[in-house]
Chain A
Amino acid sequence: MNWFIYEFPKWLKKNLFNTPVNSVVSLFIISLGLKASMYILDWTFLSAVFTGDASTCRESTGFCYPFIKEKFPFIIYGFYPRELIWRPTLAMILLLSSFFYVKEPKRWNKYSLWILSSGFFLFFFLMRGGLFLEVVTNDKWGGLPLTLMLSSIGIIFSYPFGIMLALARRGNLKILKTLSITYIEMIRGVPLISILFMSSVMFPLFLPEGITIDKLLRAQVAIILFVSAYMAEVIRGGLESIDKGQYEASNSLGLSYFQTMRFIIIPQAIRVVIPPTVNTAIGMFKDTSLVLIIALFDLLNTTKSSLKDSDWLGFSVEAYVFVAIIYYVFCYAMSKYANRLEEEFGIKSR
């Protein structure tokens, strides 16, 4: 309280009202901020509808919570059988917990890969069923679990491929180098949508009759192939930044090419490029929403479909705000995590 009376005015004067121009700008921005927050408060709370149905909502100008309540299961789980919804829920919790466990650098050891794999194994087992669980084929999967699956597998697999492509591109072997450059430039020269299209429409035409490859799998592979090219370029940037002396020191100690890369160059290169790597990861998390054009029901597609219910027409703002918040939470978490990693490694190696 004392602080508020004595220090706060000083702080205001020093930071917001120190010159006439600053005072005017501050007042303007503060009034805008107040106005915006009043509007948001009114929309989300004062005029919002908390109970009722579509008609109650239509009479009000505020946010329609009953719509979210009604459509929540469909947006989050898609066409997954309603009575089995505990399974994708548990699947997501287990997968996210395995990420949560593995994310700490101090826990990076030979077991982390096992924990990650078991996270994915349990995820797929719960999603698909089998043994004592009823089987749910993957054309029924959708919503948040699908988005999480496509993006996390995409990120995890594209990383080692990216490293290999980057090493090939910088290596001395002409053939590998040419192949890598061709691959990266071709993939980067084409939008993700067209690669997804090819995977879903053209690719099956080339397969011999009777052989089909699962649509979801094809989409997943397409995403991995696409992101690998971007990861490769990000990692190459890191490789370029490593001083020539590091190679020389490592060689002079007798380490082979692969040992030099594995223990000296790649660990350093990866640390340098944490920010652009996360940038790519966040980008791809959102890009998975493009699978809607090949009729997979990811989070954004379930949201769009929920708007087509004739009983609940006209609540697109609610739906998109809701799904935007979900996307935001995940992207923000990734970005925070990246900051932590940077700090941790920065302190250690400076």
Chain B
Amino acid sequence: MSENIIEMNKINKWYDDFHVLKDVDLNVKKGEKIVICGPSGSGKSTMIRCINRLEEFQQGSLMVDGININNNIKNIEAVRKDVGMVFQHFNLFPHLTILENLTLAPTRVKRVPKEEAELMAMEYLDLVRIGDQAHKFPGQLSGGQKQRVAIARSLCMRPKVLLFDEPTSALDPEMVKEVLDVMVKLAKEGITMLCVTHEMGFAREVADRVLFMDEGRIVEENNPNDFFDNPKNERTKNFLSQIIH
């Protein structure tokens, strides 16, 4: 029990009449890397956005690192401190410099002294190989650089879990690799990761489990080699044949 950092239990969610998540069960162990794929509209983004409560759900229960996610704003804020998220469209703060983007949350949420936060920020910027851009504004960076900054920004909160919501889908093809490289590096350092992506190479390299979602359900789940080489479910087979050319 205790080594599960995320426990999702029969989660159901509706947008008005539309049933987005149907009895989703998912347990994630500390340090586990999970890749989630599936057609658009299958609920994969919605599911991981439930974990830091960017989306509400109507039924079921969700524990993150022992904290029950409900309507209690204290619990939500506590969970968000421990769960970092990287978005498809980066969502950097355009009016702040790169360095300020990174230090804002540590200084304001965790009350880390400014100098300390800046040192830590520079460390993470170096980790994503972007230290020389610290005093630029997000608008002056390329897409790949922005996404690496976004990753560094969430690392600055020293999260226990990192969520990636299609982190490479909005990037030009030549920039995908630089972002994936950083993600692989992180994965190898042992952080718990849930990643919505269709990057199969990445999934094979780092994932402990690959989930396939369709129409709000987890349809298939397996280790990456078996998942890609001999999928069991018909819908998984169809989906894989469409994305692998």
Report A's interface with B, CB cutoff 8 A: 243, 245-246, 248-256, 259, 263-264, 267-268, 271, 345, 348-350
B95 and A251 within 8 A (CB): no
> Which of the residues B84, B89, B94, B109 comes within 8 Å of A349, measured between beta carbons?
B94
> Which of the residues B89, B92, B93, B154 comes within 8 Å of A252, measured between beta carbons?
B154
B213 in the interface, Cβ–Cβ < 8 Å? Answer: no
B77 and A248 within 8 A (CB): no
Complex-state Cα separation, A106 to B181, whole angstroms: 38
**Beta-carbon contacts under 8 Å, B167-198 to A:** none
B228 in the interface, Cβ–Cβ < 8 Å? Answer: no
Cβ contacts under 8 Å, A254 to chain B: 77, 80-81, 105, 109, 157
Complex-state Cα separation, A297 to B198, whole angstroms: 72
Known: A245-B89, A249-B87, A350-B139. A255 touches B95 (CB 8 A): no
Q: List 4 A-B pairs, minimum CB-CB distance, nearest first.
A: A249-B91, A253-B105, A245-B91, A252-B85
B153 in the interface, Cβ–Cβ < 8 Å? Answer: yes
Give 23 pairs: A residue, B residue, CB < 8 Å, sorted on A: A243-B91, A245-B89, A249-B87, A249-B92, A251-B54, A252-B80, A252-B85, A253-B104, A253-B109, A253-B154, A253-B157, A254-B80, A254-B81, A254-B109, A255-B104, A259-B109, A267-B95, A268-B93, A268-B94, A271-B95, A349-B94, A349-B139, A350-B94
Known: A252-B84, A255-B108. A246 touches B54 (CB 8 A): no
B93 to chain A, nearest CB (A): 6
B83 in the interface, Cβ–Cβ < 8 Å? Answer: yes
Complex-state Cα separation, A248 to B54, whole angstroms: 7
B99 to chain A, nearest CB (A): 14
Cβ contacts under 8 Å, A268 to chain B: 93-95
B66 to chain A, nearest CB (A): 17
Cβ contacts under 8 Å, B46 to chain A: none
B52 in the interface, Cβ–Cβ < 8 Å? Answer: yes
Q: A251-B54, A268-B93 are in contact. List 7 more A-B contacts (CB 8 A).
A: A249-B91, A249-B93, A249-B150, A251-B52, A252-B54, A253-B105, A349-B95
Interface of A is mostly: helix
A246 and B93 within 8 A (CB): yes
Complex-state Cα separation, A277 to B12, whole angstroms: 45
B164 to chain A, nearest CB (A): 12
Interface of B is mostly: mixed
A244 to chain B, nearest CB (A): 9
Cβ contacts under 8 Å, B104 to chain A: 253, 255, 263
A264 and B154 within 8 A (CB): no
Chain B's interface size range is 20 to 34
B114 to chain A, nearest CB (A): 14
Cβ contacts under 8 Å, A248 to chain B: 54, 85, 87, 91
B202 in the interface, Cβ–Cβ < 8 Å? Answer: no
A349 and B80 within 8 A (CB): no
Q: Which residue of B lies closest to A264 (CB)?
A: B93
Q: Which residue of B lies closest to A262 (CB)?
A: B108
Complex-state Cα separation, A318 to B172, whole angstroms: 65
Q: Which residue of A lies closest to B77 (CB)?
A: A254
Complex-state Cα separation, A271 to B150, whole angstroms: 23
A147 to chain B, nearest CB (A): 34
Complex-state Cα separation, A246 to B91, whole angstroms: 6
Cβ contacts under 8 Å, A263 to chain B: 104, 108
Cβ contacts under 8 Å, B89 to chain A: 245
Cβ contacts under 8 Å, B80 to chain A: 251-254
B129 to chain A, nearest CB (A): 22
Q: Which residue of A lies closest to B53 (CB)?
A: A251
**Beta-carbon contacts under 8 Å, B73-89 to A:** 77, 80-81, 83-85, 87, 89
A256 and B77 within 8 A (CB): yes
Cβ contacts under 8 Å, B95 to chain A: 267-268, 271, 345, 348-349
Q: Which residue of A lies closest to B100 (CB)?
A: A263
B93 and A245 within 8 A (CB): no
Known: A245-B87, A348-B137, A349-B94. A252 touches B52 (CB 8 A): yes
A197 to chain B, nearest CB (A): 42
**Beta-carbon contacts under 8 Å, B92-131 to A:** 92-95, 104-105, 108-109
B122 to chain A, nearest CB (A): 18
B8 to chain A, nearest CB (A): 18
A67 to chain B, nearest CB (A): 51
Q: Which residue of A lies closest to B163 (CB)?
A: A252
